[in-house]
Each structure stands twice: as structure tokens, then as C-alpha cells.
Structure 1
Amino acid sequence: MLKLHDELIAKLSNLLTAQNYNPVVIANNRLYGRAFLDYLVECDIPVETVVPAQVDQYFVYAIQDFEAQYGRPPSPRWHMLPRSAIAKVLRLAQGKWPPDAEMVGPDSEHRHEICNEYETWLRDERGLASASIAALMWEARNFLRWQFDRGGVASLQALAVTDVDRYMDMRAPGLRRKSLADVAERLRSVVRYLHRTGRIPTDLTPHIIGPMLYAYEDVPSTLDKSQIAAVLGATKEDQSPRGLRDYAILQMLATYGLREGEICRLRLEDVNWRGESLRIRHTKTNAYSYMPLLAHVGEALLDYLRLGRPGTEIREIFIRSLAPYTAITNLYGMIRGRLAAAGVEPAGKRGPHVFRHARAVEMLRASVPQKIIGDVLGHRSTESTNAYLKLATDDLRAVALDVPGTEVLS
């Protein structure tokens, strides 16, 4: 066991070194990883069989040990680095950490089988995009775990309307109407599949009802031209590697109105420098479209690739600015920070979609046909594009007609 632990710590060091971690961070990870492995030796627990509950038990022990050494409890954030180091060690030892949620608890094998079949059906039969599959799978795992904990595998055969009502009641607290409607839609998909495969005798989908939503009831957040210029100008002043990356991303958001996932998944081979074009894989449809590589976007990309992008074999263009140098997966924190730094405070949400909405409005005001706007934004139907008409209400007022026999209100 001790030899295996030494090998794990050596692998941990090599992994973090290859990912360009700071030497101090590597030393701290080694220290925390070794402390956890020593605890496993004392408890006679093989590292290959560790489960999340045993990691939690270790932290109870570690906090008590900290208090004994220093006479005070650790700070609330103290556990973050040790937990991260332990996760890396367990990932090396077990191949995957944390374990799949559906493999924990009673009836896990049957639940795992259903989830695997459902995921295959969503991907191969329905052809859904990865993001949609991930959301549906989360709901499926959560619902099946909840139902099996209440009545076991056999309870599916007796599933009734009251059961799905209880599940919706359990999910409702803290959710907005739109989010709860999404839960109902995902639950209908799961229940429909269970009925389709004979696991539920009655089709309960007509009885899974979410809150009523009205078409175009919410006006999306957006930015005007001056706000976009302010954000781009403030970000351009930051010539650090992170600043160069963020400026290139913001230029692409403002110019093309891309989704977050389309930016994060953009790869080096998607940029055709000679042909001056970009290949975009749309997140929701998995379809490809080609955009012209405009000069200001190309210059921002080149500056980042030459001066800001870390040395890594990863093919995605936009990389984390700190080790580990992996592809970025979320733009919300960056967008909020850059908006705040520029003193821009849009009403409502402050994520990457504010640039997408602004681009849509700009095209609407330029009299670009709705079909072309939808193609640029990667929409499947004109209904998706119609939502952006709400953002051009000033333009609609400008072309309003007087109705004979009525008084125009000011």
C-alpha cells in the first residue's frame, strides 16, 4: 500500500508540473495528498475503494487535528485546497472522481442501466446536442434516485399522477416560473421514455404540467452601442494575457452574437486565416455555419494567440489564464467583471447573451430579413428570432400608423 501511495504522489507531481502549476501549489498538493493517504493507511482503507462519505469523514478528523495543533478552527475556506488535492489523487487512483451519482445508493445498477439507455436514445434517436442531453440526464438521474429511494425499482410499475406531482412540488422551492417549466418539460421526456420502454404502464406525460408561460413575456437584457464600445475600450487597455483573451472573446461576442458554448468550443482549426473565415458549430443544433473573419476580430485573435495564449497542446482557442491550462467552459464571471470594470450596468442578466441580443437588434434595425438573422444566430426556427423583436420597440413605435377616428396618445 505504501509503495502505491508513493507512486500516486509522484504521478500527482508529474501531472501538476505538466499542467504548469506553480511549484508552491505543487508542494501544497503533495502535502495534502500525502496527509490523506496516511489517514487511509491508519484506517486500513484501500485508496481504490474510497467513497465520498469516507472523504467527508477524513475532513472531520483533519479539522480536529488542525484545532489540536493551532488552538483554533480553520477558516471556512480552508478545506478547498485539501479537497482539490484529494480529488486529484483519487482521480489518479480510481480513474474517475467523484463517482457517478447514479452508482451510489440502493438499486444503483438498475438506475444506471436506465440512464445509459436513455442517454443513448437521446443522442442516437433524437439527435440532441450535448448541452440538452446533459440537462435531461441530470433530471433523469435526480427523478429516478428520488423515486427509487421512496419505493425501489418496483415502484415504477405503480407510478401515478400523485408521484409526479410530489416530485414537482419537491423541485419547486426556489425556482422561477421559467425554470419550473423547464423541469416539467424534462420530466415529461423522462416519463415518456419510461412508458415507451414498458417500465411505466400508463403514459403520465399529459398530467405533468408546468406553470403557464406567455410568448415573449420577458424582455431580454441587452446593450446599446455606447455600452459595447465602453466595454471593449476598457478591456483593450488590459494588455495582460487574460486581457488579450477577454478582448478577443468580447470582439467575437459583439461582432457575431455567438453563444457561450460556441465561443468555448472554437478550435484552432476552425479559423481559416487564408480564406478569412470562421467555422462555428452551433451549440443547440450541432450544425455548422461559416462567418467572415473580419479584420478587427482577426487582429484580436492574433494578439491573443501570439502574446496571451499559454503553451498547451489543447486545440480549443480560449484557455484558462492560470494552471491547469484547460479550455474555458464559462464566460459569465468574465463578462460580469468586464462590464463592471467599464461601469456598464445593463438591466437584468449580465451574461454573454447581452451581446447576442444586441447583435440581433442591430441586424433588425438594419432591416436584415428575419431568416438571415436566424441563420447568423444559429436558430432552428423563426420563433426563436421573434423574441428579439421585443428589443426593438422604439423602431416599431417609429413606424406606428394612426388609426382613423382615434386619438394618438402621447
Structure 2
Amino acid sequence: MLKLHDELIEELAKSLMEQNYNPVVVTNHRLYARRFLDYLAERGMPVTMVTPAQVDQYFRHAVRCFQDRYGRPPSSRWHRLPHTAIGRLLRLAQGTWPPEIEIEPGAMLRRAICHDYGNWMRDERGLSDATIDARLREARRFLDWYFGRSGADDLSAMAVRDIDHYMDMRAIGLRRISLAGSAAWLRSLLRYLHQSGRVPTDLSAQVISPMLYAYENVPSILERGQIEMVLEATGRDRSPRGLRDNAILQMLAIYGLREGEICNLRLDDIDWRADSLRIRHTKTNACSYMPLLTPVGDALLDYLRLGRPQVDCREIFLRSFAPYTRMKNLYGMVDGRLAAAGVTPVGKRGPHIFRHARAVELLRASVPQKIIGDVLGHRSTESTNAYLKLATEDLRAVALDVPGSEVLS
């Protein structure tokens, strides 16, 4: 058993080193894994048969040992790294961890419906992955609610009253615009359920959503001076993370890209000889080509040469700590860089405010609306119209002649 334990620890350390983890992290993982395996050996528990309950038992034992040694309980974050190390160790020993839970028949049906619904949206409707994920989240929520409430084993008895009760439940704590989105996604699911024969009646028309008014909300926006402050402050940070964040912010400010379009950007999307950048638009699945402008190109070169980890991953922007996988969201980074620059926008503070700002700059530069839509990756002009309400200062400068207002002499 001891030989097996030593081999597992060495395999764990090798796996971490291959993922470019810091040597200190690797050493800590070895230490926590050794303590756990020693605990199992003392009790004659084979590591290949360990259950989640036994892992919980180990941590209760470890807490008691900590209290005996230091005279106080550990902090709430104390077990985080040991728990991670033990989880990785058990994945090596058992293949999967945590073990798969036996799925009840009702859950299997819900999973099958969502699987088929996702394929239908992808193959029949041609929707993007981001849209499919959002609609599947609503589908899972509705199906969990319906089966849990009705106790039925199929959808044949679904009625209008069920739709009304669900929307009443969803309305609690949601803004009108969020509730309208949930209603739209539920309609999509109900249309699919009817087309696939799982529901005899098309109930999609019975989903009542709140009234929304065109351009009723003015999105958050950054002024050019604020953008320059953020870029200047970030540009002074020459750490690997600073170089990465500067390149991302340059792309947000100059191209107005969506978060997913930056996170999905790959090394082969840059044509250095042609000074061109290929953008995969997340909402339309279409590709467009942008000129690789000097500020963006310089920032990308600095990051690729001096800041990006040397790994096989093809995505350009990676996490700053191991494991070095692609970034999945930019909200925390943008919020932190805004705060560091002393910029406090009104409303939301995510990456989309740079997109709004870029749209307004193009509008104020008298760029045709069609070209603005092409730059932003919009499928229709209606999507671009939403940005017109942001140029409020331009509207204030418009003076209208009022009939009968002439001064009579």
C-alpha cells in the first residue's frame, strides 16, 4: 500500500508540474496528499474505495488536530487548499471525483430533454453556444420546477396554469427586463416540446411577459477621458498580468468587442503580415476581419513576448495563475482596473461599457449606422439602434424651430 501511495504522490506532482504550477504549490499538494494517505493507511482504508463521507470524516479529524495543536479552530478558508489537493489525488486514484451520483428516472428524463433541446437549437436553429447555454439554464430551471411540483413522469399533462404559476414564481426578485428574457427562453422551450411531440399543445403563446419600452434604459458608458485614465494606469503595470490586461483593454476600447470574442481569440486569428485580426462573433457565429491597429498590435506583442505563459493552449489570453487555461470572463479584471485608475462609472462596471463607449464615439464621428453595426458584429440595425440613446449630449445640442416663436417687431 505504501508503494502505491508513493506512486500516487509522484503522479500528482508530475501532473501539477506539467500544468506549470509553482513549485511551492506542488510541495504543498504533496504534503496534504501524504497526510491524507497516512490517515487512510492507519485505518486500513484503500484509496481506490474512498467515499465523500470518508473525506468529510478526515477533515473533521484534521480540524481536531489543528485545535489540539494551536488551541483555536482554523479559519473558514483553511481547508480550501487541502481539499483541492485531496480531490486531485482521488481523481488520479479513482478516475473520477467526486463519484457520479446515481440518477433517478425523473432526472434522466430532464437530462434527455435538455440534451435533445440543445441539439435542436444548434442544428435546426443555428444558435450560438452562448445563447444555447442561456436557454438551457432556463429549461433546466423550468423542468426541475415542473417535475418537482407535479410529481408527473412526463409532460403530457402540462397546462396553461402551470405556465402562469412558473412565471409568477420567476417574477420574484427579477427586474422586468430579466423576466422578459426568461419568458422568451421559456417560449423557445415550449415550442420545441410541442414540435418534438412531448407536449400535445403549443403553449408558447400563453407565456405572458412584462411590457418593455424601446430604449427605456440608458446603459452605462465611459467618456474618452476615463478610458484614457484606465489605459494609462494599466499600461504602467509591466507585470505579466498587467501586460495581459492592457492588451485586453486596448481591444475593448478600440474595437468594442464582446467579452466572449476576446476570451475566444486564438493565436492563429492574428495575421501579423497582413496586420489583420479575425473576430468570431459570439452571438451570430460569423467571422469578421479588423485591421490590427498599432496600439493593439504593440500591446499584444508585449503580452505574447513577456507576459503570456509558455503553454500549448492556443487561446491568446490565459489565466495569470496555474492551471494556465483560457480566460472565461473579464468582469473582475475590468472592475479592478477601473478602481485602480480611480474611475467610477454610473451603473455596471463590466467590459460591455467599453463597447457602449465605442459605439457612441463612432456615432459622434458621423460613421454610418450600417458600418457601426458591422464593427460591433450586429446582425440587424435594430441592435445598433440601442446605442443611439447613449449620445444624449449630442441630442441636447439639437435646436428645433418652434412655430410662432418669431419675435414680432
Q: Do the two structures share a fold, i.e. TM-score over 0.5? A: yes
Deviation at 1:264, TM superposition (A): 0.8
Find the counterpart in structure 2 of residue 123 from structure 1.
122
The residue number in structure 2 matching 1:173 is: 172
Q: Which moved more, 1:156-165 or 1:384-393?
A: 156-165
Instruction: Report deviation, 1:344.
Output: 0.7
1:116 deviates by 1.5
Letter in 1 for 2:22: N
Kindly indicate whether the alpha-carbon contact (under 8 Å) linking 1:48 and 1:93 is maintained by their aligned counterparts in 2. Answer: no
Once the two structures are superposed, what CA deviation does each residue of 1:235-268 show, in whole Å capped at 9, x if it has no partner? Answer: 1111111111111111111110001111111111
Hey, what does 1:28 align to over in structure 2? 28
Matches of 2:46 and 2:212, distance apart in 1: 53
1:222 maps to amino acid: I
Bigger mean CA offset, 175-184 vs 149-158: 149-158
Structure 1 residues 135 and 43, CA, compared in 2 at 3 Å: closer, same or farther?
farther
- Counterpart of 1:219 in structure 2 is 218
Q: Aligned-pair distance for 1:197?
A: 1.4
1:185-236 Cα shifts (integer Å, max 9, x gaps) = 2222222222221212222222222322221111111111111111111111
Partners of 1:370 and 1:25 in 2: how far apart? 52
Aligned ranges 1:74-153 → 2 under 5 Å:
74-92=74-92, 104-153=103-152
- Any conservation in 2 of the 1:107–1:148 contact (CA below 8 Å)? yes
| Structure-1 residue corresponding to 2:208 | 209
Alignment partner, residue 13 of structure 1 = 13
**One-letter amino acid of the counterpart of residue 255, structure 1:** I
The 1:292/1:405 distance shift into structure 2, 3 A limit, reads same
Shift, 1:366, TM fit: 0.8
Match of 1:297 in 2: 296
Whether 2:157 is the aligned partner of 1:158: answer yes
- Change beyond 3 A, Cα 1:96–1:348: farther
The one-letter amino acid paired with 2:363 is: L
Structure 1 residue 96: Cα displacement: 5.6
Q: Distance in 2 between matches of 1:36 and 1:160?
A: 53
Alignment partner, residue 402 of structure 2: 403
User: What corresponds to 2:73 in structure 1?
Assistant: 73
Encode CA deviations 1:318-347: one digit per residue, 9 max, x unaligned. 111111111111111111111111111110
1:200–1:72 CA distance, 2 compared to 1 (3 A):
farther
2:254 aligns to what SS in structure 1? helix
TM-score by length of 2: 0.89
Match for 2:184: what amino acid?
Answer: E
Letter in 1 for 2:82: P
Length, aligned pairs only: 405
Shift of 1:136: 1.5
Q: Which amino acid aligns with 2:26?
A: I
Equivalent position SS for 1:291: strand
Find the residue that maps to 1:235 and give its secondary structure.
helix
Change (3 A) 1:43 1:24: same
Task: Check whether the contact 2:47–2:93 (CA below 8 A) recurs between aligned residues.
Answer: no
Q: For 1:245 and 1:298, how far apart are their aligned partners in 2?
A: 12
Aligned counterparts of 1:251 and 1:79: Cα–Cα separation in 2? 39
Deviation at 1:50, TM superposition (A): 4.9
CA distance in 1, matches of 2:219, 2:260: 19
Structure 1 unaligned spans of 5+ = none
Alpha-carbon shift at residue 72 of structure 1 (Å):
3.1
The TM-score, its normalising length taken from structure 1, stands at: 0.89
Could you list the per-position Cα deviations for residues 8-57 of structure 1 after superposition, in whole angstroms to 9, with x for gaps in the alignment? 44332222111111222123233444555677785968757856x77667
Cα distance in 2 between the residues matched to 1:302 and 1:61 = 51
Going from structure 1 to structure 2, the CA distance change for 1:45 and 1:292 (only over 3 Å counts) comes to same
SS at match of 2:277: strand
Distance 2:403 2:367 in 1: 31
What does 1:204-353 align with in structure 2 at a 5 Å threshold?
A: 204-353=203-352
Between structure 1 and structure 2, the one with the greater Rg is 2
Q: Confirm or deny: 8 A CA contact 2:47 2:90 kept in the other structure.
A: no
Which amino acid in structure 2 is aligned with residue 348 of structure 1? G
Q: Is the 8 A contact 1:107 1:152 kept in 2?
A: no
Residue aligned with 1:158, SS: coil
Deviation at 1:67, TM superposition (A): 4.2
Counterpart-to-counterpart distance in 2, 1:316 and 1:7: 33
SS of match in other structure, 1:154: coil
Q: Which range moved further: 262-271 or 7-16?
A: 7-16
Of 330-339 and 174-183, deviating more is 174-183
Instruction: For 1:353, give the aligned amino acid.
Output: H
Aligned to 1:198: 197
Displacement, 1:174?
3.2
Native 8 Å contact 1:164 1:208 kept in 2: yes
Distance 1:48 1:116 in 2: 31
Aligned to 2:384: 385
Structure 2 CA distance for partners of 1:9 and 1:392, relative to 1, 3 Å: same
